[in-house]
Amino acid sequence: MNKQDNILIIGAGLCGSLLALRLAQRGYKVELYESRPDLRTTDISAGRSINLALSDRGFKALRLAGVEDKAREICIPMYGRLIHDTKGNTFSSNYSGREGEYINSISRGDLNGILLTEAEKHENVNIHFNKKCKSVDIENTVAHFKCYETKKEFSIDADVIFGTDGAGSALRKSYYLEKKFLFSYSQNYLTHGYKELEIPADKLGKHQISKDHLHIWPRGEYMLIALPNLDGSFTVTLFLSYDEGEYNFNNLISEEKITEFFEKEFPDALALIPSIKDEFFNNPTGALGTVKCSPWHYQNKTLLMGDAAHAIVPFYGQGMNASFEDVTVFDAILDKYEGDWQTVFKAYEKARKQDTDAIADLAIDNYYEMRDHVANPLFKQKRKIEMDLEKTFPAEYFSKYSMVTFNEEIPYAQAMKKGRAQDKALLNLIADDEVSTSLEMTKDELKIILQKVQEETNEILEEDKIAGLK
Amino acid sequence: MNKQDNILIIGAGLCGSLLALRLAQRGYKVELYESRPDLRTTDISAGRSINLALSDRGFKALRLAGVEDKAREICIPMYGRLIHDTKGNTFSSNYSGREGEYINSISRGDLNGILLTEAEKHENVNIHFNKKCKSVDIENTVAHFKCYETKKEFSIDADVIFGTDGAGSALRKSYYLEKKFLFSYSQNYLTHGYKELEIPADKLGKHQISKDHLHIWPRGEYMLIALPNLDGSFTVTLFLSYDEGEYNFNNLISEEKITEFFEKEFPDALALIPSIKDEFFNNPTGALGTVKCSPWHYQNKTLLMGDAAHAIVPFYGQGMNASFEDVTVFDAILDKYEGDWQTVFKAYEKARKQDTDAIADLAIDNYYEMRDHVANPLFKQKRKIEMDLEKTFPAEYFSKYSMVTFNEEIPYAQAMKKGRAQDKALLNLIADDEVSTSLEMTKDELKIILQKVQEETNEILEEDKIAGLK
């Protein structure tokens, strides 16, 4: 056993704090360092994504660490998308045809606070705030920090270092710069950035639009979304190109232009965002990037987890869930190989990498789906049929979205492969008029559709397999 | 006009020297800096890839610069693959069913020498050897160098800087580190590396195996290839995992083990490589990486070209051809927008990026094809039919390989899309016994196959389009 090892975790965000909690529960000595102040006592959310979508993969990991119930207490269920057109009309599109399948809006800060508080209850965990990791000497497992309070630099020598320090990970940067091994690495940005705005609660502290939905204003090149908060407000996010199209972050520099843009594209939202000018000018513009890399570990010394290993764009609502699932998978690998860190690290990446690659790609797919396709007639017919199939055959049909979001036992890579084939089958069956798209269908009619979709899906998978000569 | 601009080109390899030549022909003042000594007077090839495959995209660019004939003089045509099994049996697989379509083995050094000599004939070009670029101040277009002769560091201030400094580009690294813009970047390594060996000429200076072929010894996890040189020798390249499988670079550390490996897997090759031990231990092990990035330019100041912008693995024989084609495409964009560098750089990437991304992906595909599929019965049947189709319907059927290699007017991205669909169609038609694979087919039988392949290919493209909701 190596429970005497000094474990250093860099980054006390969602992944790092859950990892610290779980390792503490397993009996390890954990030092957890965080660059920001303690978010339980300081408001540090300004302009950063303050609510997130929590779903079944995330809950599974929280359950493992015994904090699921605490998290559920602060969740707001969202049962589907509510899509707003330019005239202010709305239509809804459920996430699932099954009962009890929904995603949850949750405050990043509140959830992070719960995890920190739980971790701190363990005397084998110490949390250090305002300590920014600058670089890691991976050969000697020494991390170099700067303290934001004393302005002094210092170093921590550990036996094992976990980098859960997010998309801009200092540990990952050290892998890249130290060049001790061939490090495959990618950072890919979308042409669009994002900015957060707010729909406040009404005078009674109530939500001004449905709190049971994730709201979308899809406009092709532009998109607005809104997720509900417990205090009656919504966090609104605008996705917009940096420098292309008629309106973009580079040319929206006057109040007139911003108002013109929102009046034209999002009039119903504009009416609910009183401080649009201040928020637009004061909140930062965030970048939308995907990070992939390999290997995640160096020998028996260091490991990247969470966004540090695989940052993804937010469009599948799976970033936090994927990072939490990292902990689930890592815990199972620990059960198997505990005592041999190198084997644990290797086995962990082997088990996990294809799935984090898949959710990264799925999240990019969903960017286009949300922006462009949710209002497309073919896509709408497909979703309608999928809802009917899930409702009528709850044990037999699972849409790609359901496999990804509500079926935590199906790995992301498998959900992607099957889900993409199924989408292709269904879209082509509809386009070729081979399935009925009438509004009311009997169970027998739906049964025929189910069989056609299954056959076509299997054929697509088989043809892909032959083309891959596998 | 901006022909008075001082143009600095970093890197006098194949792309940089062709670019310098072409810009000189257009009247620009060019300073060309190279880290290595002049390869026309110094042997610097040891253990590096010393011959390459030159084909139609490369020739087109050389033609533009008036040096095609000089290059053709030092070419050795290779008409197909000659595949060697473990018993020493061979079978050939042509690259095309059409007459006059073949690839060419050419010495990297000799071709580079021709380009340098041609560039130097222009008095508006100065070439500086042994000057290593360390970094570039992209805002001020100042490049920092170290002279390997004097050991001194110095800086060059230019109006425009081109980085043709290869896969390890200093200009690209400065983009990454300076963080002046969102830089999408990826470096991805295969699990395999490579090592070069030699089959010398026989006593009469002749080739010991067919010089009309590219030789392949495909073994799944391992692969050996050989390309002919003008002096009767072959440059042999071993592709092998760093640390996986029974034999790998990490465990081949004794002469016994190396001999055992070659005797088991490549006995006929072993008999022809007399200095295997020395070469194995003395020649470096090279990495196989793919680099993609965007944007390639910074404002109107700097531009990445060739491997610096898009390094690919060598398995399609297109690395040099793609870099030369960069110059063709850039030259056409210059015709259109000369005088406005920023517009030129933007338009160039817009026209070119999808195609260099495509050839990078195709080269990875071919890695698996050469390693695993060339000896696969289904794959062999497919190639047989494709040869028959190309021979019988030379104006109507073009295999993916032909589109990529011999059809320089078809952009790589288009060749990939069409070629992949066509491969999938043909493989599935064969697997489903929907096309005859008899040895001798009449023209009428082949016509039916051609029609089936075309129909199936179009259907695949159509279904993909519907699935993409485009």
Q: Which of B66, B17, B10 is nearest to B40 (CA)?
A: B17
Residue A372 sits at the chain B interface (C-beta within 8 Å): yes
Q: Measured between CB atoms, which of A183, A184, A469 is closest to B379?
A: A469
Domains and CATH numbers, chain B: 6-72+106-187+290-367 (3.50.50.60), 189-287 (3.30.9.30), 376-467 (no CATH)
What amino acid is encoded at A400 in this protein?
A: K
Instruction: Summarize pLDDT for A269-319 with one digit per residue, the tens.
Output: 999 999 999 999 999 999 999 999 999 999 999 999 999 999 999 999 999
Q: How far is CA B18 from the centre of its chain?
A: 16
What amino acid is encoded at B293 in this protein?
A: C
What letter would DSSP give residue B275?
A: T
User: Would you list the DSSP string of A393-435?
Assistant: -TTT---HHHHHHH-TTS-HHHHHHHHHHHHHHHHHHHHTT-S
Return per-residue pLDDT of chain A as tens, 470 residues. 456 789 999 999 999 999 999 999 999 999 999 999 999 988 766 545 589 999 999 999 999 999 999 999 999 999 999 999 999 999 999 999 999 999 999 999 999 999 999 999 999 999 999 999 999 999 999 999 999 999 999 999 999 999 999 999 999 999 999 989 999 999 999 999 999 999 999 999 999 999 999 999 999 889 999 999 999 999 999 999 999 999 999 999 999 999 999 999 999 999 999 999 999 999 999 999 999 999 999 999 999 999 999 999 999 999 999 999 999 999 999 999 999 999 999 999 999 999 999 999 999 999 988 877 777 889 989 999 999 999 999 999 999 999 999 999 999 999 999 999 999 999 999 999 998 778 788 999 999 999 999 999 999 999 999 998 65
Instruction: Summarize pLDDT for A208-266 with one digit per residue, the tens.
Output: 999 999 999 999 889 999 999 999 999 999 999 999 999 999 999 999 999 999 999 99
Residue A250 sits at the chain B interface (C-beta within 8 Å): no
d(CA B9, CA B126): 10
Instruction: Return the residue in B135, B177, B179, B184 with the most chain A beta carbons within 10 A, the one to mutate for interface testing.
Output: B184
Whole-Å CA distances, B401 to A56, A390, B258, B391, B405:
46, 44, 34, 15, 6
d(CA B392, CA B379): 20
Strand partners, A163: A10, A304
Q: State the complex-level ipTM.
A: 0.90
Q: Is the per-residue pLDDT at B79 higher than 70?
A: yes
pLDDT range class, residue B375, cuts 50, 70, 90: confident
Instruction: Return the residue in B464, B469, B470 with the most chain A beta carbons within 10 A, the one to mutate for interface testing.
Output: B469
Q: Which backbone phi and psi does A180 adopt, to 5 degrees?
A: -85, -15
Q: How far is B188 from chain A (nearest CA, A)?
A: 4
Average confidence (pLDDT) over B327-342:
97
B208: Cβ–Cβ under 8 A, 6 or more apart, which residues?
B199, B200, B201, B202, B232, B234, B272
Tokens of A360: 């990264």
Q: What pLDDT was estimated at residue A47?
A: 47
Supply the mean pLDDT for chain B.
Answer: 95
Cis (ω within 30 of 0) for the bond into A228? no
Whether residue A228 contacts residue A211, with contact meaning beta carbons closer than 8 Å, is answered with yes
Q: Is B418 left (phi over 0), alpha (psi -120 to 50) or beta?
A: alpha
3-state secondary structure of A139: coil
Q: Are strands B76-78 and B297-298 parallel, antiparallel or unpaired?
A: unpaired
d(CA B79, CA B76): 10
Q: Which of B81, B53, B104 is nearest to B369 (CA)?
A: B81
CB contact under 8 A, A182 and B289: yes
Instruction: Summarize pLDDT for B60-76 with one digit per residue, the tens.
Output: 999 999 999 999 999 99
pLDDT range class, residue B1, cuts 50, 70, 90: very low
Q: What pLDDT was estimated at residue B166?
A: 97
B253: Cβ–Cβ under 8 A, 6 or more apart, which residues?
none
Q: Measured between CB atoms, which of A287, A431, A467 is closest to B424?
A: A467
Q: What pLDDT was estimated at residue B45?
A: 61
Instruction: Summarize pLDDT for B12-51 with one digit per residue, the tens.
Output: 999 999 999 999 999 999 999 999 999 998 876 654 558 9
Q: Are strands A153-157 and A142-147 parallel, antiparallel or unpaired?
A: antiparallel
Axis crossing angle, helix B443-467 with helix A412-431, rounded to the nearest 10: 110
Q: Which of B165, B186, B121 is nearest to B11 (CA)?
A: B165
Q: Which of A388, A401, A391, A402 is nearest to A438 (CA)?
A: A388
Q: What pLDDT was estimated at residue A1?
A: 45
d(CA A318, CA A313): 9
Q: How far is A78 from chain B (nearest CA, A)?
A: 26
Instruction: Return the residue in B189, B463, B464, B465 with the most chain A beta carbons within 10 A, the one to mutate for interface testing.
Output: B463
Q: Measured between CB atoms, which of A185, A427, A466 is closest to B467?
A: A427
d(CA B164, CA B175): 14
3-state secondary structure of B236: strand
Q: How far is B422 from chain A (nearest CA, A)?
A: 10
- The C-alpha torsion from B407 through B412 and B415 to B420, rounded to 10°, is 140
Axis crossing angle, helix B56-64 with helix B14-25, rounded to the nearest 10: 30
Q: Which residues of B424-449 are buried (b: 16+ CB within 10 A; e: fewer)?
A: bbbbbbbbeeebebeeebeeeebeeb
Whether residue B306 contacts residue B318, with contact meaning beta carbons closer than 8 Å, is answered with no
Whether residue A76 contacts residue A230, with contact meaning beta carbons closer than 8 Å, is answered with yes
Q: What pLDDT was estimated at residue B47?
A: 47
Q: Which of B277, B368, B264, B279 is nearest to B316 (CA)?
A: B368
A–B CB contacts, 8 A cutoff, strictly below? 72
pLDDT range class, residue B5, cuts 50, 70, 90: confident
Q: What pLDDT was estimated at residue B43?
A: 72
d(CA B236, CA B49): 9
B377 vs A270 pLDDT, higher one: A270
| DSSP element (H, E) containing B188 | strand B184-199
Q: How many of the other CB atoms lie within 10 Å of CB of A464?
A: 16
Q: Residues of A with CB below 8 A from B289's CB? A: 182
Strand partners, B293: B185
Q: What pLDDT was estimated at residue A42?
A: 82
- Runs of H (alpha helix) within A140-231: 170-178
What letter would DSSP give residue A460?
A: H
Residue count of chain B: 470
Q: How far is CA B433 from the centre of its chain?
A: 36
A396: Cβ–Cβ under 8 A, 6 or more apart, which residues?
A389, A450
Class of residue B73 by CB neighbours under 10 A (exposed 0-12, middle 13-18, buried 19+): exposed
Whole-Å CA distances, A441 to A94, A139, A392, A430, A449:
18, 64, 10, 15, 10
User: Would you list the DSSP string of B404-428?
Assistant: HHH-TTS-HHHHHHHHHHHHHHHHH
Average confidence (pLDDT) over B181-201:
96
